[in-house]
């Protein structure tokens, strides 16, 4: 019995994707946790500093690079806020909303 299908789906998707590294996985897990905490709604808003802390990413450059990679590779849609005090928006692709 599968307890958390989105987690399994992500690991199945990245199994053969050589572009994905440990930092990408850590960042996606932090995003998946935020998605879970917000009730499984797509899209959801994020605070960069909170996601970085959860993902154990210290450098803003690394965060931005990995977020952009995840979008380019088709795992998320990332809509960064142009205002540093406003939240960005993320949509996890291939995730069915929890009803």
What are the structural domain ranges in the chain?
5-12+20-92
Predicted confidence band at 96 (pLDDT cuts at 50, 70, 90)?
Answer: low
Q: Which pLDDT tens digit goes with each residue over 44-92?
A: 999 999 999 999 999 999 999 999 999 999 999 999 998 888 899 999 9
Predicted confidence band at 97 (pLDDT cuts at 50, 70, 90)?
Answer: low
Predicted confidence band at 99 (pLDDT cuts at 50, 70, 90)?
Answer: very low
pTM > 0.85: yes or no: yes
Cβ-contact 6, 95 below 8 angstroms: yes
Instruction: Determine the topology of domain 5-12+20-92 in CATH.
Output: Arc Repressor Mutant, subunit A (1.10.10)
């Amino acid at each position: 019995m599968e307890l958390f299908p989105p987690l399994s789906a992500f690991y199945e998707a990245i199994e053969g994707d050589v572009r994905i590294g440990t930092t990408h996985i850590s960042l996606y897990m932090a995003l998946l946790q935020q998605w879970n905490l917000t009730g499984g709604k797509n899209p959801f808003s994020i605070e960069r500093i909170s996601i970085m802390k959860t993902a154990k990413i210290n450098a803003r450059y690394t965060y931005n690079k990995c977020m952009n990679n995840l979008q380019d590779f088709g795992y998320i849609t990332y809509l960064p806020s142009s205002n540093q005090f406003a939240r960005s928006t993320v949509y996890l692709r291939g995730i069915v909303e929890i009803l």
